[in-house]
A and B are shown apart, each in its own frame.
Chain A
Amino acid sequence: EPEVTQTPSHQVTQMGQEVILRCVPISNHLYFYWYRQILGQKVEFLVSFYNNEISEKSEIFDDQFSVERPDGSNFTLKIRSTKLEDSAMYFCASREREIRDTQYFGPGTRLTVL
C-alpha cells in the first residue's frame, strides 16, 4: 500500500538555524499538508498546498515558514530561523482529489531546537 514518507525521522538543530523537513506524498495525490504536534498538545494544522501554491495557512505559519514542491515527488517545509518553541513533531499529509478523500499521514519528523 502506498505511504507518505518523511525524512529525517529526527532533526536536532541550534536556535536560529534553518531546517528543511522533507516529505514524499503518495504519488497520485494532489493536495498536501503540514501539521505539527508539540509534545503533550494537540495536532495543529500549519498549511495546505495545491497546484503549486498555498491554499490555506494557520496563524502559526508565519514568515519564518515556507513550503515548496521542488519536483514531482517531494514536498518540503522550511523553517528559516528556528526558535525553541518550534520543537515539535511535524507531520506531512496528502490526499488524492476529492474533499471526501482521506488525508494520509507520514510518520513524522521530530524537530528538536536547542
Chain B
Amino acid sequence: AQSVSQHNHHVILSEAASLELGCNYSYGGTVNLFWYVQYPGQHLQLLLKYFSGDPLVKGIKGFEAEFIKSKFSFNLRKPSVQWSDTAEYFCAVNAPDKLIFGTGTRLQVFP
C-alpha cells in the first residue's frame, strides 16, 4: 500500500539549531517526492521536490532534502533554522497523480 511516514510529530528548536525531519515512503512505482510547508494561517506551499537525477535537492529558504532509495527515505534538512521557519511540514509522494501525504511535523522555533 502507498504510504508516507513522518516520525517526528512535534519538533522544538532554538534559532540557529540544525534541523532534520524524517520521511519514509512506501510506493511501488516511480517515486516523485515532495516537501510542502504550511505557515500559520497560510496554505500549503512547495518547499522542494525530487523527480530524478541528483538525489540531493535544494529548495527555497535554505532547505534541502536527500532521496535515499535504499532506505525509502526523503529527509528534510536545514543547517540553521530561523524563527520564521515555525510551520507544519508535510512530506508527500506522487502516486502517480495524487499526492499521498504524511501526518506532518509541527516545527516550533524559539528565538
Contacts and interface: CB of A to CB of B under 8 A. Distances in A.
A75 interface: no
Given A43-B90, A100-B32, A105 B101 contact: no
Interface in A59-114: 91, 93, 99-100, 102-108
A42 B97 contact: no
B88 to A, nearest CB: 10
A74 B43 CA distance: 19
Q: How large is the interface on A (under 10, 10 to 19, 20 to 34, 35 or more residues)?
A: 20 to 34
Nearest to A98: B51
B99 A108 contact: no
A103 B99 contact: yes
A62 B98 CA distance: 17
A90 to B, nearest CB: 12
Interface residues of B, number: 21
A35 B99 contact: yes
B51 A100 contact: yes
B81 interface: no
Describe A's contact surface by its main secondary structure: strand
A42 B103 contact: yes
A56 B98 contact: yes
Contact of A45 (B42, B43, B100, B103): B100
Contact of B97 (A4, A55, A107): A55
A107 B32 contact: no
Nearest to A41: B103
Interface string B3-40: 00000000000000000000000000000100010000
Interface in B42-63: 42-46, 49, 51
Interface string A21-62: 000000000010101000001111100100000011010000
Interface string B77-111: 00000000000001010101111111110000000
Contacts of B94: 99
Give the 6 A-B residue pairs with the shortest CB-CB distance, closest first: A105-B44, A107-B43, A43-B101, A45-B98, A42-B103, A105-B43
Interface of B: 32, 36, 42-46, 49, 51, 90, 92, 94, 96-104
